[in-house]
Structure 1
């Protein structure tokens, strides 16, 4: 299947390719789509859903190009955080927090998640629902599965997307998302939707595309199910003494230490004041995403939960920073 993409890639580069070769590519893709239809039918998806989902499906080279050409440039946290959490986004987050205060308080209490983190995730993931992607999800996922580089992953996501349509949460035409199939204002992949999406307003649907209460409840449920504890925050930026053993950093379970143990190793708050003494000490991990020359943090288990949402230190720190600003 990977080979089937090569002809179209040559076309995109402006080289000539025969009409018969292009026709073969189209035939190969349509043959693959038929296999997906068969799998969906055997999995119990109705013919009505299958026909609606695949009626206009076409191969989308842009999705493949985006998958193969993700940005490689690495910014430092000092460069990244101001871009990810600029002043205008902080102002919007505070405004939207107050505008949706009642729903956020209700949902936060129900799921045991501080509302400021729900809003922060919403803001970092989709700019509060403004950037959710305009790809037809079935089209994007089918193209990525056909490409073959990560076929098992995207085939599984395609089947999950069909299940969502079958359950009546969204129509096939309205199921829009990113080039990778991440959907709605909280950018759930279809399998995450099936595991975590919630009906936040009681209308019988889980609409993470248009219904803010559903977006909030779905994000909160994800955090809750992954181990969030609203007794604590996420962590803090800290100052580490010169020459600290670099082997101490990392999020492996074995590297976690109680806050007062870190204090005895010379770690302080960023302003040099001692770490807080809590009634009940808390386990923390030392992370230095930009090595010892950059920012350093002590993070709690809630930060580890954010890392399950997105395996990027930078993403989790952007969400944490925005939550603190709220």
Structure 2
């Protein structure tokens, strides 16, 4: 069994939950923390890693190309300590994962790539909406694939040592990919944690599951063309035991469980409750975070035309429900303050917008949402 992808996921950390668009836009540049920083101990570690790679059969030419511009990336360590699925509430996570904008873009992707997705569904037995839902959560349909050099990211994490054995294994797998010629070292970019392409494959998963659907001799998940990446995701889920035509799970509202699956309560007794089946386990092979599994399942449901979640979470610490927070964000947008998408998640952009609105109105600048502020904006 593969090591859990959740250990290093990029996917909803930008969610990928931070942004968590149709089409292709330029990727954001790596921040200052993703630029190499001098580290003599890291440089010594790299010499050892190069020797170990050669001992594993990686050619000297590949090792030289791969490590030519390698550098220690402090931002990688910072991100490793703060993964989004572990800090966002289930309510916020789901609001972003299945936001109106993400659903609309997913439906657009289904139309744009209808022929390819039908081929993949027929070949691998994985519903096209499920493939697209993984794509949507992992990279916002290819918009946020990551631009961090994978060899530097994995080397940094392996050197750090917190999960050094795992990440050195990923580094050696990445070198094997370069050795095969699927991608050049300069094009091998991805997340802060070495997850790559439209659907954020880690190197060992790539070696095990990636496919060349285009037939050009390369399994190119990095291309702007998502063909090989989507095919690889379908292959991954299929080989993990996906059951076509079966549900991943169902929200339980006003009825007893059927007894076909097990009951999960991701928000405890204060939110939606689900009965989940075997395909829930299969999504968990791709990424075993409970929020992620339900996020993929529910987004795929919405892309199929199924309804939004019916279970409610109740008011937050400010006395606001999810719909209240969306209304507050829409009001701030109308007043000229940028909150991004009105998804009901109170992030830094919303807090800054609140401060701007309060300042413009001559109010005390608290930067905090409230029912009184909502009343001014609706």
Cα deviations by residue, 1:72-110 (Å, 9 ceiling, x for unpaired): 534133x32122221111111111101111111111111
Give the drift of 1:127: 0.2
Q: TM-score, normalised by structure 2?
A: 0.67
Task: Find the partner of 2:240 among 226, 236, 240.
Answer: 226
Cα deviations by residue, 1:230-279 (Å, 9 ceiling, x for unpaired): 03121210126xxxxxxxxxxxxxxxxxxxxxxxxx516xxxxxx6xxxx
Q: TM-score, normalised by structure 1?
A: 0.78
Give the drift of 1:69: 3.2
Q: How many residues align?
A: 266
What's the counterpart of residue 160 of structure 2? 147
Mapped partners of 2:233, 2:94: distance in 1: 22
Query: Over the residues paired in the alignment, what is the CA RMSD in angstroms?
Result: 1.8
Q: Is the 8 A contact 1:200 1:216 kept in 2?
A: no
Mapped partners of 1:170, 1:206: distance in 2: 8
Q: Is the 8 A contact 2:118 2:128 kept in 1?
A: yes
Task: Find the partner of 1:307 among 270, 279, 284.
Answer: 284
Cα deviations by residue, 1:163-201 (Å, 9 ceiling, x for unpaired): 001101100011001111111111011011001111111
Give the drift of 1:319: 1.1
Mapped partners of 1:197, 1:73: distance in 2: 31
TM-aligned CA distance change 1:70 to 1:96, over 3 Å: closer
Give the drift of 1:59: 1.0
Mapped partners of 2:289, 2:155: distance in 1: 26
Give the 4+ runs in structure 1 shifted more than 6 A.
none
What's the counterpart of residue 324 of structure 1? 301
Task: Find the partner of 1:123 among 136, 148, 156.
Answer: 136
* Residues 1:50 and 2:63 are matched in the alignment: yes
* Residues 1:237 and 2:226 are matched in the alignment: no
Q: Is the 8 A contact 2:90 2:291 kept in 1?
A: no
Mapped partners of 2:81, 2:93: distance in 1: 23
- Counterparts in 2 of 1:165-244, with a 5 A limit? 165-210=178-223, 211-239=225-253
Give the drift of 1:209: 1.2
Q: Is the 8 A contact 1:208 1:214 kept in 2?
A: yes
Q: Is the 8 A contact 2:210 2:219 kept in 1?
A: yes
Mapped partners of 1:68, 1:293: distance in 2: 28
Give the drift of 1:304: 1.1
Task: Find the partner of 1:292 among 269, 273, 279.
Answer: 269
Q: Is the 8 A contact 2:103 2:299 kept in 1?
A: yes
Task: Find the partner of 1:267 among 236, 241, 256.
Answer: 256
What's the counterpart of residue 33 of structure 1? 46
Where does structure 1 lack aligned partners over 5 or more consecutive residues? 1-11, 13-21, 241-265, 269-274, 276-281
Cα deviations by residue, 1:287-319 (Å, 9 ceiling, x for unpaired): 111112211011111111111211111111111
SS in 2 for 1:236: strand
Give the drift of 1:131: 0.5
What's the counterpart of residue 105 of structure 1? 118
Give the drift of 1:60: 1.0
